């Protein structure tokens, strides 16, 4: 049987990651399956099968399910089981309220505290992310999983380079995945044409990165807020089309 230690579970980038419990690792594992698109909205998750899959005890899986249910990612149905929640407009807007505040704060702090080398890393990642997204919009559909992973890396990178440990505790990879869960779920339904229109009319990642490089916190706050709001509008349209 495979163990958790042999699974590619990412532990985040913060210093506390080395102290994670099996329940923490189970939580990360489920979040990665969501991020990759392997788990779809409405999918049922079983404690015994998941415990066997990742080589741990059912109690750790149960704790992970309880945590993810508390944050609205999973839902427990009496006498039925645990399911990946389907997202509503209210879920999306609530998540966006938190995301916007944290992202703007992180970008402003990175603008002030990041080293020149770290800012260049932010800029390089942003350019790559925008380039991959443009390639996807042009028809390279197999790249979507890589784009989603790089998107998460870009935003958590800004939080890391804020050099504020309290912000980082709320913006490490797993925490950010939970905040952005509605966006991840809805992204599986994004049409290429919709993304193409979004790229043509929205603030992109490179715009934000260049503002951070100029170390102008007012511009950074304005651009990051608009970037997040543009994203909200994109995903709102997807839900409205499904209703």
Residue 60 is predicted with a pLDDT of 94
Name the more confident of 223 and 32: 223
Residue 115 is predicted with a pLDDT of 98
* DSSP calls for 155-184: HHHHHHTTT-HHHHHHHSHHHHHHHTHHHH
Range in 33-47, 93-107, 141-155, 184-198 with the lowest mean pLDDT: 184-198
Can you tell me the distance from the alpha carbon of 34 to that of 73, in angstroms, rounded to the nearest whole number?
Answer: 10
Q: For residue range 137-169, list pLDDT tens digits in order.
A: 887 666 777 888 899 899 999 999 999 999 999
Residue 130 is predicted with a pLDDT of 93
Listed residues 47, 69, 84: the one ending a domain = 84
Q: For residue range 198-231, list pLDDT tens digits in order.
A: 878 889 999 999 999 999 999 999 999 999 999 8
Same domain, 62 and 111: no
- Helices marked H in 38-115 — which ranges? 47-54, 58-70, 89-113
Same domain, 144 and 213: yes
Contact between residue 30 and residue 53 where contact means Cβ atoms under 8 Å apart: no
Same domain, 169 and 238: yes
Across the chain, mean pLDDT equals 86
Residue 72's region, left for phi above 0, alpha for psi from -120 to 50, else beta, is: left
Same domain, 176 and 229: yes
Residue 142 is predicted with a pLDDT of 67
Residue 79 is predicted with a pLDDT of 86
Sign for the pseudo-dihedral over CA of 206, 208, 212, 216:
positive
Same domain, 93 and 75: no
Query: Residue 73 pLDDT > 50, yes or no?
Result: yes
Q: What tokens does 159 get?
A: 């939080």
Same domain, 71 and 121: no
Same domain, 154 and 137: yes
State whether residue 236 is helix, strand or coil.
Answer: helix
Residue 14 is predicted with a pLDDT of 45
Q: In what order do the strands lie in the sheet with 44-45?
A: 44-45, 81-84, 74-77
Residue 181 is predicted with a pLDDT of 79
Domain count, the chain: 2
Write out the residue range of the structural domain in which residue 120 sits: 89-242
Q: Give me the CATH number covering residue 43.
A: 1.10.10.10
Listed residues 31, 61, 84: the one ending a domain = 84
CA distances from 240 to 91, 195, 218 (A): 13, 16, 33
Same domain, 78 and 103: no
Same domain, 120 and 35: no
């Amino acid at each position: 049987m495979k163990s958790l230690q042999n699974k590619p579970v990412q532990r985040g980038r913060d210093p506390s990651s080395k102290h994670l419990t099996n329940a923490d690792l189970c939580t990360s594992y489920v979040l990665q399956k969501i991020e990759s698109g392997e788990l779809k909205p409405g999918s049922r998750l079983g404690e015994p099968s998941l415990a066997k899959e990742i080589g741990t005890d059912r109690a750790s899986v149960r704790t992970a399910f309880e945590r993810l249910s508390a944050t609205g990612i999973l839902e427990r149905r009496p006498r039925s089981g645990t399911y990946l929640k389907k997202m509503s407009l209210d879920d999306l807007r609530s998540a966006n309220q938190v995301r916007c505040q944290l992202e703007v704060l992180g970008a402003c702090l990175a603008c002030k505290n990041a080293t020149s080398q770290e800012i260049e890393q932010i800029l390089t990642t942003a350019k790559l992310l925008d380039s991959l997204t443009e390639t996807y919009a042009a028809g390279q559909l197999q790249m979507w999983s890589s784009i989603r992973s790089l998107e998460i890396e870009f935003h958590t990178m800004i939080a890391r380079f804020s050099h504020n440990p309290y912000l980082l505790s709320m913006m490490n990879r797993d925490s950010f995945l939970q905040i952005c869960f509605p966006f991840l779920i809805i992204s599986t339904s994004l049409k290429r044409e919709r993304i193409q229109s979004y790229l043509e009319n929205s603030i992109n990642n490179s715009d934000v990165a260049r503002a951070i490089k100029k170390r102008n916190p007012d511009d950074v706050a304005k651009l990051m807020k608009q970037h997040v709001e543009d994203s909200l509008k994109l995903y709102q349209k997807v839900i409205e089309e499904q209703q």
